[in-house]
Structure 1
């Protein structure tokens, strides 16, 4: 008895050491992210120009709880930024450090989670369990697809939401050992962690279904007559999900970037969904050519071979997973969890200029890392396993460090984007970066190219006007601001910029009218 207790304690201690080592290695690999700046790609509008979140006073806390700033309800994430502000002021290194620390913690939590799952699914113990868990956690944490969520300050919401999401799963796995789930304090801890995850980013709404998947495999808590009980015990989680989903829908609509059915029809949305599911699988296997933006095509043809093939592959994998569910239950569990976690961002309810985004893979691709960990545990006794795993981890780390450098500043980011995934937005964004560095002619070249690719890109017209205004060319600037407003009459910044240009030209009445329009638009978006 004493020996078995000692072995259990020794096993837990070894597991904690491995998890800490994984977290430390992840932290070290992502340290170059601390050299990054606040980016015009949302960091400026979220953190630099916006002062409402800076502090922990009643007004700031009230704003965090009620704000739908830029289409998101993320009070817990805002709270974390406020703590950063009290410690670091507006030094971006501190904000990047927090992101890296949370990501390192997530790597450690994934390691602990995989240890538990391997023990439950296959009865794996000893060194094989530790090695499999470490391999899975490092495959998750050091994959280049994680860089966008970690190196981009705005995406604090990804890493923070995942932190509480993982805590909720670990607490749930502990709670199911009890005779009655909701008599265990672990269940309430899981529910609390889930609430914090939702308050960090609403994409966590999938957790109740993920828990049901775990009930089926590897926990084996679902039998022919047990589904009703398993569904009922998830009711508190489901209620939180429904509430968060309702708030998220209101928030997204307030942001003004939701694609209507007129913009994207049902067939186009299905095409985007199938494409993104396959795209993330492909980039997981071959993480090269990653970009901050994969722009949605202007005229998306759902009948094109690329989209048809993607939907066919999704259907084929789904059918195969169902047919093989008894022989390979892990395949159906991983595929179901992957699809469910992707659903909020897969494109059915589309918003934004992208067809896919690296950040959307942060949690959804975790099941594939877990399967890899299981594979490593099976073959760990083979002589070749250690060098193969070490080489794979080293390769991922090397690619990740290179991708982190891409996110250093706006010029490196958009220069890279034009190489990997050229788009009108990338041209316009690089133009802004060049203009801010005192290179207006190069900037105007990119604004012109952006409008050749997409003549209805209002931001390019507005940014072109700003570059001209800096040269004192107020009449030319005004023409571009007016062109931007013809494309988007509710473009507040273009109204304000046009007001400034008209004022410089002595047209004060027109300037006042546009200034009032800018103010009205901004007030309508303020929550």
Structure 2
């Protein structure tokens, strides 16, 4: 086994060991239940499962390979959380190893691609060490925990693994292809194989999640630097070469938009733009200084105008972009990494539409963290290369690697502990942001599942107070949930009061469920006349809305 593959397995094993504490965590009521435990579609593995996976928009996602992987897991482990976390960890570790191979290949062409004036000072001390550092800095980082430790995010780890395989085979193709001035190398079976495998793995990635929908643009940036294929072949030939990739990306983008059509939040354009710039800056800060990472960042929903909190991120964006442009001739790798960072973040910034109630999330950096890790590794390399390629410089580089990786490993293990269960998770959100009503609501639900009704009720009261102060538009959900808790506690009078409050703000398609719950409470109180009235109104509401009412 050569040194490259030895490093590959060392990277994979190091990442896997760093995430071993995750095997002690459970499955969360927050989405894990809907994705796995309550998803009867994956509780068997058959042709019907395959058909459902490819034809459904379950939970606002089109992710057939993700559903099939979870169905396979369920056939092995059932509801045992260890199996789901184990598979996520293995996929993440393999992605880290694949990213190492990608970085190593890029390092091999990096020195030759640098402008002549920059060679020597910015040369790579050792491509294997530099590539390994980039892979470890990416994979063992607290921002990766959400994608790996949350079983629901199987779609992230699966999509990234296939996507990195697509990039790896594309680099093999591009490095062997050379100039495209002689058009497509139809007689070279090896190149055709690598290109086809890249396209195939890209398809697998998109069928897991639309995480890498911007991959064709990323490949164009790599063609610019460090591959320098645009200079040798021309932009037209390079773009035409990507047409199959763009067509696949466009098709899946349309499917994703259709799947998420019912989950779009009505947020004005100004708020979306300002939140996007704030998110870009926050992700950079959390990458460099991963302190205070929250499992949930509530969206502001309505930003009335420009304040310093939003002006500074815009100013930072302009300064960084201008600096990268200034460095383009002397050090184009900085601009290349910045462009890839922005391109890979773009689908998750909510600029065109906002899906869900989160302003940002650690999982949204799962792909965008790659170029930053590579750039940071090159920066550490350049720092020690400036002292010359001496033995002391190499030892110092290895020492810096060890310190950085061990520090990140400690912070990653600490972050994993916050994902142990729902109570621990939402307690962490409350610690970091006490005014997040969603966190109290979710922790209330977690206590409710534990039959700890007093704590559940206390959290829900807090959630209602916060929601009312923010003029939350779905107050009926909170009152309905509180009515359920009071009913389970035997306080039917208060339960009826809460259901009545819920009906005051509930839309037509939600009224049937609430009316039925209030009718059931009346029935238990012996008020059959009122119960029958609510049951009749509930049936009428179903007819008026044409079907079911959904669930809380």
Q: Same fold (TM over 0.5)?
A: yes
CA distance in 1, matches of 2:298, 2:372: 26
The reply on whether 1:312 has 2:305 as its aligned counterpart is no
Find the aligned partners of 2:515 and 2:38 in 1 and give their Cα distance: 20
Report whether the alignment pairs 1:355 with 2:359. yes
Does 2:451 correspond to 1:449?
Answer: no
Instruction: Show the counterpart of 1:413.
Output: 425
Distance 1:466 1:80, change over 3 A: same
Alignment check: 8 A CA contact 1:111 1:133 kept: yes
Question: Offset at 1:40?
Answer: 1.4
Indicate the residue corresponding to 2:84 in structure 1: 95
CA offset digits 1:145-171 (Å, max 9, x no partner):
000000101011111110011000000
My pick for the range that moved more, 333-342 or 471-480, is 471-480
Distance 1:518 1:407 in 2: 39
CA 60–452 in structure 1, closer or farther in 2 if over 3 Å, else same: same
Identify unmatched segments of 5+ residues in structure 2: 113-121, 179-183, 524-530
Retained in 2: the 8 A contact 1:334–1:367?
yes
Which residue number corresponds to residue 221 of structure 2? Answer: 213
Partners of 1:490 and 1:22 in 2: how far apart? 55
In structure 2, the CA distance between the partners of 1:445 and 1:195, relative to structure 1 (3 Å rule), is: same
Provide the residue aligned with 1:222 in structure 2. 230
Q: Secondary structure at the match of 1:41?
A: coil
Report 1:227-238 matches (<5 A). 227-238=235-246
Residue 484 (structure 2) pairs with residue 466 (structure 1): yes
Distance 1:118 1:424 in 2: 47
C-alpha distance in structure 2 between counterparts of 1:375 and 1:135, whole Å: 11
Matches within 5 A, 1:186-335: 186-223=194-231, 226-253=234-261, 256-260=262-266, 264-335=267-338
What is the aligned partner in structure 1 of residue 117 from structure 2? none
Residues 302, 308 of structure 1: 8 Å contact kept: no
Shift of 1:328: 1.7
Structure 1 window deviating more from structure 2 (349-358 vs 55-64): it is: 55-64
Contact 1:475 1:501 in 2 (8 A): no
* C-alpha deviation, 1:477, in angstroms: 2.3
Maintained 8 Å contact 1:23/1:107: yes
Q: What is the total number of aligned residue pairs between the two structures?
A: 509
Counterpart CA distance in 1 for 2:80 and 2:379 is: 43
SS in 2 for 1:454: helix
Cα RMSD, aligned residues only: 2.4
- What is the rounded CA distance, in whole Å, between the counterparts of 2:64 and 2:541 in structure 1? 29
The answer for the alignment partner of 2:35 in structure 1 is: 46
CA distance in 1, matches of 2:535, 2:69: 40
1: CA distance between counterparts of 2:486 and 2:134?
52
1:60-209 to 2 correspondences below 5 Å: 60-122=49-111, 128-176=126-174, 177-178=176-177, 180=184, 184-209=192-217
1:175-224 Cα distance to aligned partner (Å, 9 max, x none) = 11136467611111111111111111112110000000000011011128
Evaluate the alpha carbon distance shift between residue 486 and residue 327 of structure 1 in structure 2; reply closer, same or farther with a 3 A threshold.
farther
Contact 1:215 1:221 in 2 (8 A): yes
Deviates more, 1:371-380 or 1:49-58: 371-380
- 1:485 Cα deviation from its structure 2 partner: 5.0
Answer whether contact 1:27 1:104 (CA < 8 A) is retained. Answer: yes
- Distance, in Å, in 1 between the alignment partners of 2:319 and 2:343 is 17
**Distance in 1 separating the partners of 2:196 and 2:537:** 55
Query: Is the Cα contact below 8 Å between 2:482 and 2:495 reproduced in 1?
Result: yes
Counterpart-to-counterpart distance in 1, 2:301 and 2:270:
15
Q: Which runs of 5+ in 1 are unaligned?
A: 1-9
Contact 1:485/1:495 (8 A) holds in 2? no
Q: Rg larger in 1 or in 2?
A: 2
Q: 2:416 aligns with which of 385, 404, 414?
A: 404
1:33 positional shift: 0.9
